[in-house]
Amino acid sequence: MRALHSSMISRDPASLAQSPDAIKTELDFPGSLHAKFTNKLNIVDPSLINPLDIYRVVGVDGNQLDTSFDIDVDKPLAQKMYKDMVTISILDTIMFDAQRQGRLSFYMVNAGEEASAVGSASALKPEDNIFFQYREAGALLHRGFTLKEMMSQLYANKDDYGKGRNMPVHYASKKLNIHPISSPLATQLPHAAGAAYALKMRGQDAIVICYFGEGAASEGDFHAALNIAATRSCPMVFFCRNNGYAISTPSLEQYKGDGIASRGVGYGIDTIRVDGNDIFAVRRATQQARELALKDQKPVLIEAMSYRIAHHSTSDDSFAYRSKREVEDWKRKDNPITRMRKWLEIKGWWSEEAETELRASTRKEVLKAFSSAEKVKKPKIKNIFDDTYEELPEKLKAQRKELAEILDTYPDHYDLSHFENGREGLEEDK
């Protein structure tokens, strides 16, 4: 077990005492460290400060720009990363259409952000804990979440780990250290900071990564989480997907500062801004962030700059607040899947034949999982009462009894054939 980090030990107040000479030039006390005095009044104008640079490894033409290192991805891993991105894009198309056909209630598309999800996931270790927002299906897939597990959750059938009690795209997996996704915006951020602090207290060689969008950074939970993580030196990575829009609100109407990266700096957190459409830049940034978080026991913020090509969700029509031309321009000029394909082709690791075969076989895999999950029955009715309390309280027992009486009194009004064990599924397991 690793020894506790020195930042967990309270500092000696005497160490902040200043000598008579030092107080003439700088202020060093609990509220500010090494702040220099000046006799010139200077109001900082943020518009005069250059925006933080965006790190890029591979250009839109597929050629490597940062040649200071060798991309640490062999052929099998590179092809898996590419397949994961393609799989998500095919899954998105099929499930979006399925929602429009009324075959499931809700879905969120990942188009334009596949590289951010897959690239970051490829840099993590199995013991790392993940808190997702909702547009990171590529990371799920890369980590080992199967199409069957995805479809089971989307259809809330009896194989769903959440037992049918969550909206679609609210994935979770205990075996993969993936915490359940929740609908309220940004609530995962303080939870993730707490989980990272727990890992630190236990001395575990693992970090927490927490994904969120730039819209979530407008919530109070974002600021609370960053402050907790910074002051308690939590080993975690905050991963912001800045895709330009928080549902219908453009980023420029959300905030006036330099994106989200500048906020990390403001909280005293090591910060990286990266090209979110460059899978290798995202991978390297996440590797570096993970190493810093684990070695130095502190948080790191990554802001991945991308563009949300799809509608926010199946409940949204993005063309009500942005033009189709804008979307098509981004889709055509800087598509993360196309960029990686070009890199693979330059390496001699991909071809038109491989592309055709991949898309055909992947579509079959997705449709097979989709068709199978749709036919699986819903969880037992009793699950609506379970898993909140270790022992069911009397009030819930009374409600379950009342439900049983209603179902028995009006059997023709309730079709229970879609649930596992039908009416008997309300009874306690023997």
**pLDDT given at position 333:** 87
Q: Which two tokens stand for residue 301?
A: 């913020």
Domain containing 404 equals: 381-426
Number of domains in the chain: 2
- What is the mean predicted confidence (pLDDT) over 119-139? 97
Which residues, in sequence order, are bridge partners of residue 129? Answer: 208
Angle between helices 114-121 and 336-347 (to 10 degrees): 60
Q: What is the pLDDT of residue 5?
A: 37
Burial of residue 148 (CB within 10 Å: 0-12, 13-18, 19+) is: middle
What pLDDT is attached to residue 23?
Answer: 80
Q: What letter would DSSP give residue 34?
A: E
Helices of type H across 101-219: 114-121, 137-143, 147-154, 188-202
In a domain, 9, yes or no: no
Place of tokens 């952000």: 113
Name residues whose C-beta falls within 8 Å of residue 289's C-beta, 6 or more positions apart in sequence: 237, 270, 272, 300, 302
pLDDT score at 410: 97
Res 32 pLDDT > 90: no
Final residue of a structural domain among 375, 393, 414: 375
In angstroms, the CA 217 to CA 264 distance is: 11
Q: At residue 7, does pLDDT exceed 80?
A: no
- Residue 59 maps to a domain: no
Which tokens belong to 88?
């998500």
Work out the percent of the chain whose per-residue pLDDT is above 90. Answer: 85
175, part of any domain? yes
Kindly report, residue by residue over 267-321, the tens digit of the pLDDT: 999 999 999 999 999 999 999 999 999 999 999 999 999 999 999 999 999 999 9
Q: Is the pLDDT of residue 56 over 50?
A: yes
Would you state the pLDDT for residue 4?
Answer: 36
Closest CA to 247 of 397, 135, 412: 135
pLDDT tens per residue, range 213-259? 999 999 999 999 999 999 999 999 999 999 999 999 998 898 888 99
With cut-offs at 50, 70 and 90, classify the pLDDT of residue 206.
Answer: very high
Residues 331 and 404 in one domain: no
Same domain, 329 and 396: no
What confidence tier does 22 reach under pLDDT thresholds 50, 70, 90? confident
Mean pLDDT to the nearest integer, 6-34 = 63
Percentage of the residues of the chain whose pLDDT score is greater than 70:
94
Please tell me whether residues 92 and 160 are part of one structural domain.
Answer: yes
pLDDT higher than threshold 60 for residue 6: no
CATH code, domain with 201? 3.40.50.970
Reply yes or no on whether the pLDDT at 16 is more than 80. Answer: no
pLDDT band at 430 (very low <50, low <70, confident <90, very high): low
Q: For residues 82 and 212, state if they share a domain.
A: yes
Give the domain-ending residue among 360, 375, 390.
375
pLDDT tens-place string over residues 70-100: 999 999 999 999 999 999 999 999 999 999 9
Q: What is the average pLDDT score of the chain?
A: 93
The band of 15, judged by pLDDT with boundaries at 50, 70 and 90, is low
Model pLDDT for residues 140-161, shown as the tens digit of each residue: 999 999 999 999 999 999 999 9
Distances (CA, A) of 269 to 34, 272, 306, 362, 404: 17, 10, 22, 41, 54
Alpha carbons 188 and 133: distance in angstroms, whole number: 7
49 found inside a domain: no
| Mean pLDDT calculated for residue range 328-341 | 93
User: In this structure, is residue 33 part of a structural domain?
Assistant: no
| Coil, strand or helix at 76 | helix
Instruction: Take residue 107 and report the two structure tokens written for it.
Output: 């879905």
Same-domain pairing of 307 and 220:
yes
